[in-house]
Amino acid sequence: MLELAERKILRQIQGLPNNTANMAVYTLVGAEPIAITLDKNVLTFFMNIVRNPGTIECEILRRQIVFSDQRGKDFINRVEKTLSKYNLKSSSYYIENPLNKMEWKRLVGIKIKEYWKNECHNEKMEKTSLKYIEIQNNPLNEAHNIWKSVKKTIVKM
């Protein structure tokens, strides 16, 4: 629901029709989908817990790993799905070998950029309407060249 609202707003801002491909909506302005932002927050929270091994939160996390059901909706299952989505190692590995904050942010950033770039290219191959759009090297957080070519003007009201 949140993603639908985000895409609708981005379409309206850019003046794009409702049937515009999702990938085009995000890559033209270099916007980060809300799902990626949520995934970053989940992974950051997970590593913050893991880096403090003596806390109750870390003990609860360890217990969840042992007793969790793969189909459950608990936090550790969300973490595992997110880790596998971005081709990261399992939560058990990171509990035993926690990374410092900067290493983790860099690793997660690289994996998310790879994932999103692959998603963009896959969607471009699937949809014929996207065959003429050129995907940037970094489709996240970098506006498409077409928007960079527009002259910035200030409108007085």
User: Does the pLDDT value for residue 149 go beyond 90?
Assistant: no
Q: pLDDT for 101-130, tens place per residue? A: 999 999 999 999 999 989 888 888 888 877
pTM recorded for the entire structure: 0.82
Q: pLDDT for 38-63, tens place per residue? A: 999 999 999 999 999 889 999 999 99
What's the total number of domains in the chain?
1
In a domain, residue 39? The reply is yes
Q: pLDDT for 85-106, tens place per residue? A: 999 999 999 999 999 999 999 9
User: Does the pLDDT value for residue 139 go beyond 60?
Assistant: yes
In a domain, residue 44? The reply is yes
In a domain, residue 15? The reply is yes
User: Does the pLDDT value for residue 156 go beyond 70?
Assistant: no
Contact 25, 129 (CB under 8 A): no
Mean pLDDT rounded to a whole number for the chain: 87
In a domain, residue 127? The reply is yes
Contact 74, 68 (CB under 8 A): yes
Q: Identify the domain containing residue 141 by its residue range.
A: 2-145
Q: What is the 3-state secondary structure (H, E, C) of 34-56?
A: HHHHHHHHHHHHHHHHHCCCCCH
User: Does the pLDDT value for residue 157 go beyond 70?
Assistant: no
Whole-angstrom distance, CA of residue 13 vs CA of residue 153 = 16
Confidence of residue 155 (pLDDT cuts 50, 70, 90): low
The pLDDT assigned to 19 comes to 86
